[in-house]
């Protein structure tokens, strides 16, 4: 029985790891690998208790969120309080990366809901077209054309935005 469970879990991790790692990166940044590993360890321990295999992604995401919150609380208690000392080296400026992420978020919000959902499932969740089609209740051809139109609109927005600056 345990061998079957181990094989199911290994197959799940092999199939979903890239998408889960992207989610972990959005949550924890450079600690994404550690966060995902901790969440997968928790999921492995609960594998037989998870009722539906369709619910596993949600379980892993919730485990990542809870683990990250715990880490944040633990670090916050250990934080050093500010002092009057100025660091010798300049602090890294993440503003350009944040600006790009904000611009992408704004561009995605301008898309119609169906296009936004298709792009999210296809590229952010890294799901194959047939899976996106099943989730949206449409044909694979509809997914392809919807994503194509969305990407064209995002490209147009990027070109127009660059022309304004």
pLDDT in tens, 103-122: 778 888 888 889 988 988 88
Separation CA 79–CA 56 (nearest Å): 34
CA distance 63 to 35: 9
CATH number assigned to the domain covering 99-164: 1.10.10.10
Task: Cite the residue boundaries of each domain of the chain with CATH code 1.10.10.10.
Answer: 99-164
CATH of 2-78, one of 1.10.3470, 1.10.1740, 1.10.4160, 1.10.287: 1.10.1740
Residue 43 pLDDT greater than 80, yes or no: yes
Gap between the Cα atoms of 107 and 97, Å rounded: 15
Q: Is the pLDDT of residue 97 over 80?
A: no
SS3 13: helix
**Which comes out higher in pLDDT, residue 20 or 106?**
20
Residue bearing the bigger pLDDT, 81 or 30? 30
Q: For the residues 91-104, what does the mean pLDDT come to?
A: 70
Query: Where does the pLDDT of residue 133 fall: very low under 50, low under 70, confident under 90, or very high at 90 and above?
Result: very high
**What is the rounded average pLDDT of the residues 118-135?**
87
Q: Which residues in the chain are classed under CATH 1.10.1740?
A: 2-78
Task: Name the pLDDT band for 89 (thresholds 50, 70, 90).
Answer: low
Which of 78-87, 95-104, 138-147 is least confident?
78-87
Residue 79 has pLDDT above 60, yes or no: no
Supply the pLDDT for residue 11: 93
CA max distance for the chain: 62
B/e letters for 78-114, b = 16+ CB within 10 Å, e = fewer, are: eeeeeeeeeeeeeeeeeeeeeeeeeeeeebbeebeee
- Pick from 5, 26, 28, 15: which is nearest to 57 by CA? 15
H helices present in 29-139, as ranges: 32-46, 56-78, 95-110, 113-119, 129-136
Q: What is the rounded (10 degree) CA torsion for 144, 149, 151, 152?
A: 140
Rounded to an integer, what distance in angstroms lies between the CA atom of residue 60 and that of residue 42? 8
Containing 27, the helix (H) or strand (E) segment is: helix 2-28
**Per-chain mean pLDDT for the chain:** 83
Does position 8 have pLDDT exceeding 80, yes or no?
yes
Helix, coil or strand: residue 50: coil
């Amino acid at each position: 029985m345990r061998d079957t469970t181990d094989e199911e879990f290994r197959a799940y991790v092999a199939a979903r790891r890239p998408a889960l790692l992207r989610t972990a990166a959005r949550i924890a940044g450079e600690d994404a690998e550690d966060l995902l590993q901790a969440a997968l360890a928790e999921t492995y321990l609960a594998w037989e208790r998870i009722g539906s295999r369709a619910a596993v992604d949600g379980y892993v995401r919730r485990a990542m969120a809870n683990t990250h919150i715990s880490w944040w609380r633990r670090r916050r208690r250990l934080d050093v309080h500010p002092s009057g000392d100025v660091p010798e080296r300049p602090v890294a400026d993440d503003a350009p990366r944040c600006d790009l992420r904000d611009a992408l978020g704004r561009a995605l919000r301008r898309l119609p809901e169906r296009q936004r959902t298709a792009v999210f499932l296809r590229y952010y969740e890294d799901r194959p077209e047939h899976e996106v089609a099943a989730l949206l209740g449409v044909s694979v051809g509809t997914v392809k054309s919807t994503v194509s139109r969305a990407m064209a609109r995002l490209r147009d927005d990027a070109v127009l935005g660059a022309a304004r600056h």
